[in-house]
Structure 1
Amino acid sequence: MNFDLSDERQMLSDTLRRFLADKYSSTLRNEVLSDPAGLSREIWSQLAELGVIGALFDEAQGGFGGAGGDIAVVFEELGRAGVVEPVLDTAVLAGGIIADLGNADQQALVEQIIAGELHVALAHGEPEARYDLPYVTCRAAEDAEGIRLEGRKAVVVNAEASEYLIVSAREAGGLRDWEGISLFLVPRDTAGLVLQGYALASRGRAAEVVLDGVTLTPEMRLGTAGQGGDALTKAMARSAVAQMAETLGAMHTACEMTQDYLMTRRQFGKPLGSFQALQHRVAEMLIEMEQARSATINALGHLDGPDRDRQISAAKALMGQIGKRIAEESIQMHGGIAMTQEYDLAHFAKRIIMGDHRFGDSDYHLERFIDLSAA
C-alpha cells in the first residue's frame, strides 16, 4: 500500500512547515503562553490566509479538504512546530459540529471560522465526567421565556477568546445516554454565563464555565432536540485523530532535538552520540515513532467506517504508551537542561504527555478497545 502524500497534501505540508519555521519561534510561543488571550491573532489570521483552517473542512462546508489525511497533515506540522493556537478546538471540534448540525444562518459562522474571523469553543466535559463522554448533568428546560440552561462545564479550551460556546445539555434520557443530549450555540456575553479562566500546561488557556439561568431562544439550538450525540461523537473521533497527528509531530521534534544534542554534547572527549548504548536507545525511539505513525494512519483510514471507534481506541492506547516513552527518553538523554522552561524540549515533552489525556488516555482507550472488540 502506498502511504505517500498526494501532491496537494505534500504542498500543504511543505508550505505550512516553511511558514512555521520562519514565523513560529520559541520566543513567540512563550509570549503566547503568557498572554491572557492564549493565542496570537496575527498567527491565526496568517494560518487562515494560508488555507490551513480551510483544509479541515470539505467543499460543501466552504473548505477544500476535510478528510482524515488532510487533518493529519495539518496537525502533524502544527505539533512539529509546537503551535499553541487552538486550531483543533475551534476548527475540528466546534467548527465541525456547526458544519454538521447548523441551519443556514449558523452555517455562516463556519465561513467566518475558515476566514480566521471567529473563534468557537466546545463546552462539553464536566467536572465529574472524566472520560465518560455521554455523562452530561447540565440541563436544558424549555418554558415560556425560552430554553434555560443550568450546570457546569470543565476545561473548556479557548473559551475566553471565543465569541460563541457550543454547550451540551440534557433534555431527555439517562445520565450516560447519548440520546437526549442537545447542543446550543451560546454567545459568550450571554447573561448567566460565567467563565473562570486559567493557563494550561502545554497550550493556551481554558476555563471553567458556570451556566446559571442562561436563557436562549429555540433558534440557538444546533439541530433538533436531544439529537446532538452523533455530531459530538463524530467531532470527538476526528479530534482524537488530529490530537494523535499533533502528538506525532511533537515526537518527531523531540527525537530530532535529542539526536542533535547527542551529536554536539561531548563527554570523555567525544560526542555522547558516539556511545553505542545511547545509539541503541535513539534507534528504539525512532522505531517506536514509526509504529505510532502507522497506528495514526490506520485510525484516520477508519474515520468514516463502521469500525471507527475501535480503531481509534487501538491507536490512542498505543500512542499514549509510545508518547510517554519518547518524552521520558528524550528528557533523560538530555539531562537537567531538558527540564528548563527556556529549552524547547520541555514544551514538547509536556505536549506529548498532555496529549495522551485529551479525548481519553491510554488506559481508558485500552479498556474501550477490549469492550468494543468483545461486543
Structure 2
Amino acid sequence: MHFNLSEEQAMLQASSARFIAQQYPFEVRQQDVARANGFNPATWATFAELGWLSVPISEAGGGFGGSAADTMVLMEELGKGLVAAPYLATVMLFGRLIDLGAPESLKKSYLEPLIAGQLQGAFAYQERQSRYSLSDVKTTASRKGENYVLSGEKTLVMNGAGADQLIVVARTSGGQFDTSGISLFVIDANAAGVYTNSYRLMDGQLVANILLDNLTVAASQLLGEEGKGYELIEKVVNSAVLALSAEALGIMNKLSEATQEYTKARKQFGAPISSFQVLQHRMVDMFMACEQTRSLLYRAVCSVETSDADRSLHALKLMIGRNGRMIGSEAIQLHGGMGVTDELDVGHYVKRLMVINTLFGDADHHQQRLAQISLTK
C-alpha cells in the first residue's frame, strides 16, 4: 500500500525523528520515567515549542487542525523513541474532548495553556467494574441548584498524578450500562473532595486511582449537553486508539530493526547468527507482521470518517495485540537472556507493547467486537 506523506507530514516526521535521535536516547527516557510525575517538564516544553501539542487541536481551538494521518506520523516516531510523555492523556484525550465538547467560554481558558505546554490534563473514565466498556459508569453526578455533586471512583487514569485538570465521566441519569445519561465534567485535580493514589504500570509510566467524595462542580463545567456525553467519548477514544496504534507500530518496527542489527553482530560457531536460515525466517516473520500492521493502520486512518471505521479500528487493535506479542517475544528470544535485562531497551519496548494491548480493550475484546459487527451485516 502506498501512503504518500504531504509536505507538512514529512516535516513533522523529520522533526520528531531528529528530536528522538539527538535529544532523547534511551538513558534520558529512563530518567524521565523515574521522575515523580513520570515525565520531564523540559521535554514537554520542547513539544510545545515544536508545535506538536497543537497537531490534533482544531484551528478554531487555536491548534494546527491536523488529521488522523498527521497524528499517526508523530505518534509512530514517539513510539520508536519510547518517549515518556503524557501526549495521549493530555492532548489526544483531554485536549480533544475540550476542543470538541466545551463551550466557547471554556475552550480558550484550557486550550491556550495546553498548547503552550503550561497545562496538564487527564481523562477519568474507567472504573473497577467497567473493564473495557465505555458506558459502564457507576460514578454519579446529582444536580444541586447551579452545581453538581460528584461521587465515585475512577481507576487507571493516565497522567492522573500530574494533571492540573480532569475530565470526569459521571452518570446523571439512566442505568449503569446505558449509553444515555452519561455526562462529562471538567474539574480541578486539586479541588477539595478529589483524592489521588498514583502507581506505576509495568512500562514504568504513572497512572492513578481517583476518588471523588461529594465533589461540588459548577454547572458551567459541564461539557456538552447533560446526559449526552457518550457519543463524544466514543469519538475521542476512537481517535486515541488510532494514535496509540501508531505508537505501537513505531515500537514494533524498532524491535524488528534492533533484532536484525543484533543478529548481524552476534556470532555463533564463527558466523553471524543472521546467516542461520531458521533465524532468517523468524526475522522475516517479524518484518511481515510490521508491514501487515502498517497497512491496516493506513486503512483505519483512511476510513476514519466512513461507515467501515468501527470494523477497521477493531481489526487494527486486534492485530496490534497479536502481532505486538509475537514481535516482542521474538525480539527477546533472539537477544537471549539480555533481552529481559533493565539495561537493554528491548524489554522496555516489549513492556510498553503489553500495556498498549490493554488500553481501550485488548486483542480478545476487539476480536469479540469485530465478530459482533460481522454477525449484524
TM over 0.5: yes
Hey, what does 1:176 align to over in structure 2?
Answer: 177
Asked if the contact 1:76–1:247 (Cα under 8 Å) also holds between the matched residues in 2, the reply is yes
Aligned ranges 1:332-343 → 2 under 5 Å: 332-343=333-344
* Matched-pair identity in %: 37
Hey, what does 2:17 align to over in structure 1?
Answer: 17
Hey, what does 1:100 align to over in structure 2?
Answer: 100
User: Which stretch shifts more, 267-276 or 301-310?
Assistant: 301-310
Hey, what does 2:45 align to over in structure 1?
Answer: 45
Aligned ranges 1:175-254 → 2 under 5 Å: 175-254=176-255
Amino acid at match of 1:349: V
1:164 CA drift (Å): 0.4
Asked if the contact 1:171–1:225 (Cα under 8 Å) also holds between the matched residues in 2, the reply is yes
1:145 CA drift (Å): 6.9
User: Which stretch shifts more, 173-182 or 233-242?
Assistant: 173-182
CA distance in 2, matches of 1:44, 1:341: 25
Hey, what does 2:152 align to over in structure 1?
Answer: 151
User: Which stretch shifts more, 298-307 or 220-229?
Assistant: 298-307
Hey, what does 2:33 align to over in structure 1?
Answer: 33
SS at match of 1:61: coil
CA distance in 2, matches of 1:165, 1:143: 21
Asked if the contact 1:85–1:203 (Cα under 8 Å) also holds between the matched residues in 2, the reply is no
Correspondence 1:138 to 2:116: no
Amino acid at match of 1:80: K
SS at match of 1:175: coil
Hey, what does 1:324 align to over in structure 2?
Answer: 325
| Cα distance change of structure 1 residues 203 and 309 upon mapping to structure 2, 3 Å threshold | farther
CA distance in 1, matches of 2:244, 2:296: 13
The two structures have a TM-score, normalised by structure 1, of: 0.98
SS at match of 1:356: helix
CA distance in 2, matches of 1:161, 1:93: 15
Asked if the contact 1:331–1:338 (Cα under 8 Å) also holds between the matched residues in 2, the reply is yes
CA distance in 1, matches of 2:59, 2:162: 27
Hey, what does 2:278 align to over in structure 1?
Answer: 277
1:134 CA drift (Å): 0.7
Asked if the contact 1:149–1:215 (Cα under 8 Å) also holds between the matched residues in 2, the reply is yes
Asked if the contact 2:147–2:218 (Cα under 8 Å) also holds between the matched residues in 1, the reply is yes
1:203 CA drift (Å): 4.6
Measured against aligned partners, the alpha-carbon deviations of 1:160-216 in whole angstroms (never above 9, x if no partner) come to 111101000000122112211000001011111000001122252110010111011
1:115 CA drift (Å): 1.4
Asked if the contact 1:170–1:181 (Cα under 8 Å) also holds between the matched residues in 2, the reply is yes
1:2 CA drift (Å): 3.9
1:221 CA drift (Å): 0.9
Measured against aligned partners, the alpha-carbon deviations of 1:76-102 in whole angstroms (never above 9, x if no partner) come to 000011001010111011111000111
Measured against aligned partners, the alpha-carbon deviations of 1:271-322 in whole angstroms (never above 9, x if no partner) come to 1111111111101110111000011111111222233222200111112111
CA distance in 2, matches of 1:144, 1:65: 37
Hey, what does 1:67 align to over in structure 2?
Answer: 67
CA distance in 2, matches of 1:64, 1:279: 43
CA distance in 2, matches of 1:321, 1:353: 10
Hey, what does 1:165 align to over in structure 2?
Answer: 166
Amino acid at match of 1:260: E
Hey, what does 2:55 align to over in structure 1?
Answer: 55
Point out where structure 2 has 5 or more consecutive residues left out of the alignment: none
Amino acid at match of 1:247: A
Query: How many residues are aligned here?
Result: 375
Amino acid at match of 2:98: I
Asked if the contact 2:146–2:219 (Cα under 8 Å) also holds between the matched residues in 1, the reply is no
The two structures have a TM-score, normalised by structure 2, of: 0.97
1:56 CA drift (Å): 1.8
CA distance in 2, matches of 1:138, 1:66: 33
1:65 CA drift (Å): 3.6
Asked if the contact 2:321–2:362 (Cα under 8 Å) also holds between the matched residues in 1, the reply is yes
Amino acid at match of 1:73: V
Structural RMSD (CA): 1.2
Amino acid at match of 1:366: Q
1:226 CA drift (Å): 0.6
CA distance in 2, matches of 1:308, 1:236: 13
SS at match of 1:186: strand
Hey, what does 2:124 align to over in structure 1?
Answer: 123
User: Which stretch shifts more, 103-112 or 148-157?
Assistant: 103-112
Asked if the contact 1:202–1:354 (Cα under 8 Å) also holds between the matched residues in 2, the reply is yes
SS at match of 2:52: coil
Correspondence 1:350 to 2:375: no
CA distance in 1, matches of 2:361, 2:198: 22
CA distance in 2, matches of 1:29, 1:199: 15
1:261 CA drift (Å): 0.7
1:359 CA drift (Å): 0.8
Point out where structure 1 has 5 or more consecutive residues left out of the alignment: none
